[in-house]
Chain A
Amino acid sequence: MQLLSSNIAQDIINEGFAFGADFVDVFIERTHNDGMVFKNSRAEDIQSGTIFGIGIRLIHGEQALYGYTNSVDREELLRITKLLGARIGGEGKSLNLNFEKLTYPKVPTLLDKEIDAKHKLAHLKKIDEILRMDTKVSQVMLNFTKKKQLIEVYNSEGLFATEERPYIRLFHQVVMKDGNLQTEAFYGPGAIGGWEFIEKLNTQEICANLLKQASTTLYASPCPAGKMPVVIDNGFGGVIFHEACGHLLETTSVEKKASVFWDKMGEQIAHSAVTALDDGTVPGAWGSLSIDDEGMPTQRTTLIENGILKRFISDRLGERKTGHKRTGSARRQSYKFAPASRMRNTFIQSGSYQLDEIINSVPDGIYAKKMGGGSVDPSTGQFNFSVQEAYLIKDGKISRPVKGATLIGTGPDIMAKISMVGRNLELMAGMCGSVSGSIPTTVGQPPIKVDEILVGGEA
């Protein structure tokens, strides 16, 4: 059963055109969320909820008008369309649309296996027990989320597209304490799929890694400060590319000339060792989509090839404003946001070096084994991100652990300084917040070496 009848969609689109809009789309969303927060060795909060709403977008030239409501009532939807249309204030003719349902290749997902709450709880209890076998663990917090998002898109080009997206994620957080020393460690794998994703995770290995990370940082000394070479390991290390470069390649920034790369198409913007992609088609990956939120089949997009800027991440409005073709990257948190060009699964492609070779090349620097989050100002390219687990490198060997490291720099500068790229590409799930809300994205990279970066730590 459709969430919104095609007749009402047609009426909305015609109303928008009557005011002179040259493109109208209607986005309908019903998302069911299930969540379980497990802490203090018990299920503390179990929550279910449904969000439902409709977003209406009128485009006139480069102007976008957007409205949304929870109501499916035709009159309310037309009222909002009129409110938006009045901003254009023009005149146009109605369309006689014959919506054709879009067929598209489905990006393979996992099975979306359902499981009852008691089994989920038993699994979380098991993780809690394993982690608490370490007597220094003072708290374990496990946040299980499952979301099933059903979307429909109608537009004035006669498109009708629909997709169901099952998301699943289990966020682990462990707090460790020894006397006055305290620290925490995180791990948050996620996928497009169901419970089978959780079943496939190696719980013992995850717990062992979390405990190792926490116990390492618990006794680590403060990180020295200053400019130095940094080796960033694979997986969530990809946040460096996401922040330092990825956001700057979204037409959302490019169209406002608020990206330092806005006029650099075809130019060398990174070291020749760097090839980077934004790929919405990775099977089962947290940031994958079959269609984007404008109903366009998603793509595998080469952004940088051997250091040369090849493509921007573009949506419909971005294409209008910049001329750069859409890449199936229009995304939004929910119907409450107009779509914008956003990253999906973004990563640096594998190179030829082993991690040991990269470490051995550094006489004095930092090995960032696990990165935290970060942020960027696209207009200046200045970024910052935290390091969760770090070690000193002395004479090409990993030395003692350090804590409190922050890396800061500018995108163009850092991209030119990635001089070595390793072999083992790994992707990691995360949430990215930007103009169209918080969305699931994957970051990733093989191990890389940045020749020089400012490390913030203890003076």
Chain B
Amino acid sequence: MKSLMEKVLNQVIDQKAEADLMFASSKTLKMSAQKKAISTYNVSSTQILGIRVIKDGRVGLSYTESLDEESLNLLVKQALQNTETTEPNAHERILNLSGSLSDELSIPEEEVSIALKTERALELEEGVKKLDPRVSSVPYNSYSEQDYLSHYLSTKGRFTTYRDKSYSITSSAVMDDKGKKSSFYDFQTAHVFKDLKFQKVIETALFHARNLLEEKSLPTGKYNVRFSEDSLESLMNCFSNLYSAKASIDQMNPWSNQLGCEVISKDLSIIDHPSFDRSFRTSKFDSEGVERKLLTLIEEGVLKSFYHNSVTANYFKTQSTGHASRSAGSPLGVYGTDLIIRGKNVKPLPDRYLEVIQMDGLYSGANRVTGAFSVAIKGYVWERGEKVGTFGNITLSGNLMELFKNVEVVGDELLASTDESFFSVPLIFHGVSVAGT
């Protein structure tokens, strides 16, 4: 693949331009069950090559899924044509990096037969149903695996290789008990088949679905709220523009002028950690081939840094933090790796609080420019350390930036999200608006 990529880049060099290429390929297998049989079985093998050409300071992008000579010629031609319409951007250049980097995760494992995979995939449906007769269906259940490979090559000579193998399972439970309905789903990812915890996923989906059968609305008012790690991760991802230098340039970051200022509670520090030992997948370099390192975003409430790629770094006259993000089919952006929220000044849990285990409608109800959001929530009511009820059919409204000013740390253990890419000490947010009865 490297020689093919070099051939493409040589065409660009002949046109007195510079460029970088992103290549990605994947092979996948996915199956799901219905009525005790495998109802869908998907296999795939795909590839894509994307180019970013910079000529006379102007950027043009193109991609193709066909790698025959004609398609590759067209790829370069289209990207060069696109440079003719854009306006020069003095900040966008191919980084002056050379040499090779590799990040290939290869964990030895015994070959797993398709028969065993099928048997376990069937469990993700039947295993739920047999545990409770009130389960009316298991609409979301799947076993999937993916082999992924990507390369980056620039006209400056930077070449990277990233390889990963992952497995994923999902199960769910839709319950119907005398007209009361509920549903919940759970998932897990792993790098080797034997690490998949089928029974745990089944039991987690069923556990919450059973409890949610008893969900009740709550009176409208202000509540103490604890988000599950998955819910908190969703919130942080939805508002990732808060840490983005690109969003600052685009006037889409409400913290753009707050570097060095206290933006959240002094008890909290937020770190972007590409090599945290508890992460599902560490990451050695970004999409421009820049080596990653730990980045403190917020230290004891004070905003310390934004995510930068080379373009935003040039704009702000700083260095790339190794957070360039780009797929073969998308332009250059910035994105974080794994977030860690650390805390100090641990307080006891309040007597009463809501634990949010499910949020719906976050992305449609969020205003990234202001930090405001409104979501439908489900979860548990806790009183004096005991779960005393289940709530649903209510909404939670707030502003993420304001929420993080009125928060208390209630434990010192870092808890992980299900996908093991987000870690946080337990937090209680005070005075959160909830609308119900």
Contact = CB atoms under 8 A, between A and B. Distances in A.
Interface of A: 36-37, 39-40, 42-53, 62-71, 76, 80, 83-84, 87, 117-118, 121, 138-139, 141, 175, 177, 182-184, 222, 225-227, 253, 255-258, 260, 336, 338, 372-375, 377-382, 384-386, 403-406, 408-409, 454-459
Contact of B374 (A39, A69, A182, A404): A404
Contact of A405 (B35, B374, B396, B436): B374
A175 B251 contact: yes
B397 A225 contact: yes
A403 to B, nearest CB: 8
Contact of A225 (B43, B74, B220): B220
A123 to B, nearest CB: 12
Given A47-B61, A380-B182, A454 B44 contact: no
B395 A52 contact: no
30 contacts: A36-B85, A46-B83, A46-B86, A47-B331, A49-B61, A52-B64, A53-B65, A64-B39, A65-B41, A67-B44, A68-B45, A70-B66, A117-B81, A139-B252, A175-B369, A184-B369, A225-B395, A253-B139, A256-B137, A256-B139, A338-B42, A374-B361, A404-B374, A406-B365, A406-B375, A406-B395, A408-B393, A454-B395, A456-B394, A457-B435
Given A139-B251, A225-B220, A257-B137, A385 B364 contact: yes
A384 B62 CA distance: 37
Contacts of A47: 60-63, 82, 329, 331
A428 to B, nearest CB: 15
Interface string B61-97: 1111110000100100011011111110100000000
B181 A379 contact: yes
Q: Which 9 A-B pairs give the minimum distances between C-beta atoms?
A: A456-B395, A225-B435, A373-B364, A384-B361, A258-B139, A406-B374, A49-B63, A47-B61, A386-B365
B43 A454 contact: no
Given A117-B81, A182-B369, A459-B397, 6 more contacts: A46-B82, A47-B82, A385-B361, A385-B365, A458-B397, A459-B435
B249 interface: yes
Contacts of B375: 384, 406, 456
Given A384-B395, A386-B374, A456-B397, A50 B66 contact: yes
Contacts of A139: 250-252
A40 B369 contact: no
Interface residue SS majority, chain B:
strand
Contact of A258 (B82, B174, B374): B174
A116 B44 CA distance: 36
B312 to A, nearest CB: 13
Contacts of A257: 136-137, 174
Nearest to A260: B181
A289 B47 CA distance: 28
Interface in B342-392: 360-361, 363-365, 367, 369-370, 372, 374-376, 392
A48 B376 contact: no
Interface string B388-413: 00001111110000000000000000
B360 A70 contact: no
Interface in B40-56: 40-48, 50
A262 to B, nearest CB: 9
A454 B396 CA distance: 12
B360 A384 contact: yes
Contacts of B194: none
Contact of B254 (A69, A182, A336, A377): A182
Contacts of B34: 62, 255-256
A141 B250 CA distance: 9
Given A87-B38, A257-B136, A43 B87 contact: yes
B369 A183 contact: yes
A264 B74 CA distance: 53
A50 B249 contact: no
Most buried by B among A40, A118, A182, A409: A182
B61 A459 contact: no
A69 B65 CA distance: 10
Contacts of A372: 364-365
Given A64-B40, A457-B374, A80 B139 contact: no
A378 B185 CA distance: 13
A454 B42 contact: no
B85 A69 contact: no
Contacts of B221: 459
A63 B39 contact: yes
A99 to B, nearest CB: 24
Contacts of B392: 382
Contacts of B38: 63, 87
